[in-house]
Structure 1
Amino acid sequence: MSTRADQAIAALRKGHDDLSALVAGLTPEQLTGPSAADEWDVSQVVSHLGSGAEINLEAVQASLEGRPAPEFEFNKGVWARWDGMTPQERQAAFPVANQRLVEAYEALTPEQRESHKIDVGWMPEPVDVATSALLRLTEYGYHDWDVRAALDPSAALAPEAAALISDRVEGLFGWIAKPANLDGRTADLLVQLTDTGETLTLHLTDPVTLGAAPAGPLDGTLSLTLEEWLRLAAGRLKPAYTSSSVSITGPISLDDLRAVFPGY
């Protein structure tokens, strides 16, 4: 039976293979056209994923070699180099950089996947391989969508990534949720995930939290698929990317929720 680390690494591999093939076929106009990430063109999203691959790879290699995690100056140097690339250079460099990271995860033995720790540099303490791979998968899954949605507004998060990201979404609230944008209003919403049958409670308070569905009535109901919920929480359910099946009742509108979750 595969472990959570195995599943995350397999999802990273599929995501790499799929996006690398897509990026390789992009025209110059598509590379410099707007992505679904605010203020970034497609090549800048590709750059972000490529530089992130290099930084993550250094953390993995350092952990295996007993070295300290890369410091911020290392990261700055990687970002500067990718920022200085042309769109076509990013297009060519991304698959190579990301392949190296995926291969490094794939090379870990079953024992390492179970017990090895990786210092990612910004967490309070080193994390296990599953967490390290899931952190990368969360970043990768959303930005993969940023590229795909630029070409097809009906694009969805990769299902293998969405299934694993779902357990991490509340962990993002601390730095992406903006309850102040409700101007003092609060509400508790029932979140119905129409494809999985799961129900959750979204507490629109300060801080924003997510819990199990309560027995009693709430202020309103938000109905959407798991994939749409994950995109909403990361600021990626703007009107152009919202299907007609998404519905909400109660005192909080979908635009209110978009303001609470403005994205990054």
Structure 2
Amino acid sequence: MTSPDAVIAAFRTEHDILAEVVSSFGEDDPARPSGAARWDVSEVLSHLGSGAEITQATVRAALDGTPIPGRDVLETVWDKWNAMTRRQRVDGFLRANRTLIALYASPAVHTRESLRIDMGFLPEPVDLATAVRMRLSELALHSWDVRVAFDEHAALTPSATRQLLHGAPDLIGWIGKSEPLDGRHNVIHVTTSGPATVFALRLQSRISVDFDVADTPDGTLTLPAESWLRLVAGRLAPRHTPSGITTTGAADIDLLRRVFPGY
């Protein structure tokens, strides 16, 4: 089991990086188009801020032994954030995420290790490290959505990449779409750098990854780990694809973009 402290530290680092960008915004910056196709920068921050507020309630419910917030609570939070001005969303995100970081770190060490959190959509409660990692995934990807509005060569941060690469829970089967495969079944040998890993991507009716690497795969894909994470999150469009990514055989990058359309 991963220590929750390591994931919380990565979450704090990710927040600090985005907060530095956000705190320097000029008047028009929150209105810029973001890396999320249908949102401007302020709407991305609204999504992160409302998510942080809802997560606070979920964690407090686990600490207090009370039910998690219901749909009515969620809709009230979303309505509040949707009604904010762009500037209010920026400031609100900073406050809500700082409060969430403090809450993650607040329980005693033995409580952080034993705490189980009902996320509301998973089959069973998860440990704190897994819950924070799921929030880190949201923060890291949407931080990229914000930062890429100002730097087209933006990448996921190393600290987040280390925590998210092969981190639980494995949602590839939910993220990946098999329809673009037209019934084909292929095993792709994936090699990443920063950090270095080797694993198998199985393109079949249910997309999956594992470490049972075939001696003779149908194709190979070599790329930075952060680019792999952006690929499966639908954030590796051609203009945001770094040089040096190599493919062979059945590992067609355009096909993989369709298999992983984003969320």
Q: Given the two structures, how large is their TM-score scaled by the length of structure 2?
A: 0.95
Partner of 1:174: 173
Instruction: Please state whether the residue corresponding to 2:249 is helix, strand or coil.
Output: coil
Distance 1:170 1:242, change over 3 A: farther
Partner in structure 2 of residue 254 of structure 1: 253
Residue 4 of structure 1 aligns with which residue? 3
- Greater CA drift, 225-234 or 244-253: 244-253
Report whether the alignment pairs 1:238 with 2:244.
no
Q: Measured at CA, do residues 169 and 232 of structure 1 come closer, stay the same or move farther in structure 2, by a change above 3 Å? A: farther
Flag as ranges the 4+ runs of structure 1 deviating above 3 A: 194-197
Matches within 5 A, 1:153-232: 153-168=152-167, 171-232=170-231
Which residue identity is paired with 2:88? E
Matched position secondary structure for 1:150: coil
Give the Cα separation in 2 of the matches to 1:54 and 1:214. 41
Specify the alignment match of 2:54 in structure 1: 55
Q: CA offset at residue 15 of structure 1?
A: 1.6
Higher helix share: 1
Report the Cα distance in structure 2 between the residues aligned to 1:190 and 1:42, rounded to whole angstroms.
Answer: 36
Aligned to 2:18: 19
Q: Are the equivalent residues in 2 in contact too, given 1:169–1:233 (CA < 8 A)?
A: no
Query: Could you tell me how far apart the structure 1 residues matched to 2:65 and 2:129 are?
Result: 19
Decide whether aligned partners of structure 1 residues 245 and 141 sit closer, same or farther in structure 2, where only a CA change above 3 A counts: same
State the alpha-carbon separation in 1 of the partners of residues 24 and 222 from structure 2. 36
| C-alpha contact (below 8 Å) 1:69/1:119 kept by paired residues | yes
Match of 2:27 in 1: 28
Which AA in structure 1 matches 2:94? P
Which stretches in structure 1 are left out of the alignment for 5+ residues? none
Q: CA deviation at 1:168?
A: 3.2
State the superposition RMSD in angstroms. Answer: 1.7
Unaligned runs of 5+ in 2: none
- The residue aligned with 2:118 is 119
3-state SS of paired residue (1:134): helix
Do the aligned partners of 2:183 and 2:205 also contact (CA within 8 Å) in 1? no
Of residues 168-177 and 136-145 in structure 1, the stretch that sits farther from structure 2 once superposed is 168-177
Spell out the pairing of 1:90-169 with structure 2 (5 A cutoff). 90-168=89-167
Q: Provide the C-alpha distance between the structure 2 equivalents of 1:198 and 1:17, rounded to a whole number of angstroms.
A: 27
Q: Percent identity?
A: 43
TM-score (norm 1): 0.94
